[in-house]
């Protein structure tokens, strides 16, 4: 068992957290004070490049700063004013959401914040503001913050295979984890002190919950793949604001893109994130081995070749998502190109490690500057060859 294996062994054997029994006063009064006493800072006060799609949001600090920045995003998008969101309630809500995330390598609070940051950038775009109504936009931001609450660092198939308590609750409906994330969200909102939607009419409240349910369920990649042809048809037809199906499909696409937005960051960041993702996958693989099962290649630290896996994931899921998105929102072409640059580096790294027979077990080699230099050199060579052919 290596240094990553042991810490996550009991993750899925726990019963679901029941937030209803968690009293809100477990939130430290000084945290609420910190978030309510000052004027809400502008997003760029966290970093001058905060309002850029290329920005790596995790770089602004840790969990508490992410809560402050989330507050700032609510204000910048005008939600605090439009929906008369009470500052203390919003602060308690955000702190409860933060607490709802577990300390797993990838599906943690920093992932939720990074996803919400990308969504925030999308919601600032005039084209998105025109395409969706304000309740839909509010639902998207809140859904992003909550979409992985209480994730255990294991997949839906693991829940089913191991017959976890969550699988017993939700297996008949599919998307086991996503149903749990939504249920946890509702539990937090049902605490009076955390109900940021208290000023909404009954009808608006129901609408927001319906949207959030759909959006959070859309984060199951299996669900995305089942309806990707419908999203693609919408892109071909062109977005029609009068078409309610288009509203639903567009919200799902924005959510999926935000959830996968790490793939669009420059390679040095994408590598850091890949390491976190595979630390989580390999922990699951270790657990499966201990249970006497054989993990799939992606989860097996002895078999998985990360550059190869990343390339496959990008080609089958992420690239088509951002291709469709940038056709609907042409301002995202730059983001798409950054992603394709990152893809090129994964592809080249896969070639280099395969040709040179370099060991790809574990994750250490991803940090090798020697390997990185080789990759960059290879890309340079390929570019000059292409130039010469032209
Ligand atoms: Zn996620």
How remote is the CA of residue 105 from the centroid of ligand 1, in Å? 12
In a domain, 56, yes or no: yes
Instruction: For 139-190, write each residue's pLDDT tens digit.
Output: 999 999 999 999 998 888 888 888 888 888 887 788 888 999 999 999 999 9
Q: In this predicted structure, what is the pLDDT of residue 8? A: 34
Tell me how far the alpha carbon of residue 107 lies from the centroid of ligand 1, in angstroms: 6
Residue 64 annotated as binding? no
Cα 179 to averaged position of ligand 1 atoms, centre (Å): 13
Contact of 85 with 74, CB cutoff 8 Å: yes
pLDDT in tens, 88-135: 999 999 999 999 999 999 999 999 999 999 999 999 999 999 999 999
Residue 229 annotated among the catalytic residues of the structure: no
Q: Is 24 annotated as a binding residue?
A: no
CA atoms of 163 and 159, how far apart (whole Å): 6
pLDDT higher than 60, residue 15: no
**Token pair of 326, please?**
């940038």
For residue 56, give its domain range. Answer: 26-219
Q: Find the mean pLDDT for residues 376-388.
A: 87
Read off the pLDDT of residues 255-308 as tens digits, 9 standing for 90 and up: 999 999 999 999 999 999 999 999 999 999 999 999 999 999 999 998 899 999
pLDDT of residue 352: 92
Looking at residues 62-77, what average pLDDT do you find?
94
Q: H helices of the chain, where? A: 29-36, 63-76, 79-82, 87-100, 109-123, 126-131, 134-146, 156-161, 165-170, 176-189, 202-217, 221-237, 244-259, 267-290, 306-313, 319-328, 333-355, 369-389
pLDDT of res. 331: 96
Q: Are 253 and 325 in contact (CB under 8 A)?
A: yes
Whether the Cβ atoms of residue 369 and residue 321 lie closer than 8 Å to each other = no
CA angle 326, 331, 336 (to 5 degrees): 45
Whether 321 is covered by a domain: the verdict is no
What is the per-residue pLDDT across 322-334, written as a single tens digit (0 to 9) for each?
A: 999 999 999 999 9
Residue 149 is given by DSSP the state T
pLDDT tier, 12 (very low <50, low <70, confident <90, very high otherwise): very low
Q: pLDDT at residue 10 above 50?
A: no
Dist. CA 77 → ligand 1 center (Å): 22
User: Which residue among 17, 42, 107, 246 is the active-site one?
Assistant: 107
148 is in an annotated binding site: yes
| pLDDT at residue 174, rounded to an integer | 83
For residue 146, how far is its CA from the centre of ligand 1 (angstroms)? 9
Domain count, the chain: 1
User: What band does 2 get if pLDDT is binned at 50, 70 and 90?
Assistant: very low
Residue 163 is part of a domain; what is its CATH number?
1.10.1300.10
Residue 179: inside a domain, yes or no? yes
108 known member of a binding site: yes
356 within some domain: no
pLDDT score recorded for residue 358: 80
Gap from CA of 109 to ligand 1 centroid (Å): 10
Nearest to 323 by CA among 340, 345, 307: 340
Say whether 12 counts as a known binding-site residue. no
Tell me whether residue 259 is annotated as binding: yes
Confirm or deny that 107 is annotated as ligand binding.
Answer: yes
Tokens describing residue 344: 């090129």
Predicted pLDDT at 241: 96
Q: State how far the Cα of 331 lies from the Cα of 277, in Å rounded to an integer.
A: 29
* Cβ density class 195-214: b for 16+ within 10 Å, e for less: bbbeebeeeebebbbebbbb
CA of 112 to the centre of ligand 1 (A): 6
Q: pTM of whole model > 0.75?
A: yes
User: Residue 366: inside a domain, yes or no?
Assistant: no
Closest by CA position to 149, among listed 119, 115, 178: 178
Is 211 annotated as ligand-binding? Answer: no
Of the candidates 234, 18, 258, the one whose C-alpha atom is nearest the C-alpha of residue 131 is 234
In the DSSP assignment, the letter for residue 43 is G
Residue 183 token pair:
């249920």
Residue 318 lies in a domain: no
Q: Six-digit token pair at 46?
A: 């966290």
**Residue 236 forms part of a structural domain:** no
Please give the mean pLDDT across all residues of the chain: 90
Query: 229 with 62: CB under 8 angstroms?
Result: no
- 262, 59 Cβ separation under 8 angstroms: no
pLDDT of 246: 97
Tokens 């999203």 belong to residue: 231
Rounded to the nearest whole angstrom, what is the distance from the C-alpha of residue 342 to the centroid of ligand 1? 20
Position 71 in a domain: yes
Lowest mean pLDDT among 17-26, 178-187, 188-197, 362-371: 17-26
């Amino acid at each position: 068992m290596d240094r990553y294996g042991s810490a996550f062994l009991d993750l899925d054997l726990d019963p679901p957290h029941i937030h209803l029994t968690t009293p809100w006063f477990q939130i430290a009064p000084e945290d609420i004070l910190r978030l309510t006493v000052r004027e809400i800072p502008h997003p760029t006060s966290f970093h001058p490049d905060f309002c850029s799609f290329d920005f790596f949001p995790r770089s602004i600090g840790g969990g508490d700063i992410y809560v402050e920045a989330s507050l700032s995003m609510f204000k910048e998008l005008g939600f605090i004013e439009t929906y008369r969101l009470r500052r203390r309630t919003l602060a308690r809500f955000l702190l409860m959401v933060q607490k709802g995330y577990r300390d797993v390598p990838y599906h943690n609070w920093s992932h939720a914040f990074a996803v919400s940051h990308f969504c925030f950038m999308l919601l600032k775009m005039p084209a998105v503001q025109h395409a969706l109504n304000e309740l839909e936009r509010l639902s998207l931001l809140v859904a992003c913050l909550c979409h992985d609450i209480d994730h255990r660092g294991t997949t839906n198939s693991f829940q089913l295979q191991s017959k976890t308590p969550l699988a017993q609750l939700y297996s008949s409906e599919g998307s086991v984890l996503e149903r749990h994330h939504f249920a946890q969200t509702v539990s937090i909102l049902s605490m009076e002190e955390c109900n940021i939607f208290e000023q909404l009419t009954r009808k608006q409240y129901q609408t927001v919950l319906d949207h959030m349910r759909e959006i959070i369920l859309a984060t199951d990649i299996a669900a995305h793949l089942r309806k990707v042809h419908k999203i693609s048809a919408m892109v071909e037809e062109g977005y029609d604001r009068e078409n309610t199906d288009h509203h639903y499909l567009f919200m799902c696409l924005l959510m999926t893109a935000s959830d996968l937005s790490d793939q669009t960051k420059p390679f040095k960041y994408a590598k850091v994130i890949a390491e976190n993702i595979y630390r989580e996958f390999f922990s699951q693989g270790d657990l499966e081995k201990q249970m006497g099962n054989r993990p799939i290649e992606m989860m097996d630290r002895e078999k998985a070749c990360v550059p190869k896996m990343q390339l496959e994931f990008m080609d089958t899921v992420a690239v088509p998502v951002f291709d469709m998105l940038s056709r609907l929102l042409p301002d995202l072409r730059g983001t798409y190109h950054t992603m394709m640059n990152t893809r090129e580096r994964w592809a080249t790294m896969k070639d280099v490690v395969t040709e040179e027979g370099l060991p790809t077990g574990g994750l250490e080699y991803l940090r090798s500057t020697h390997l990185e230099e080789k990759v960059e050199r290879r890309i340079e060579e390929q570019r000059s060859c292409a130039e010469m052919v032209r």
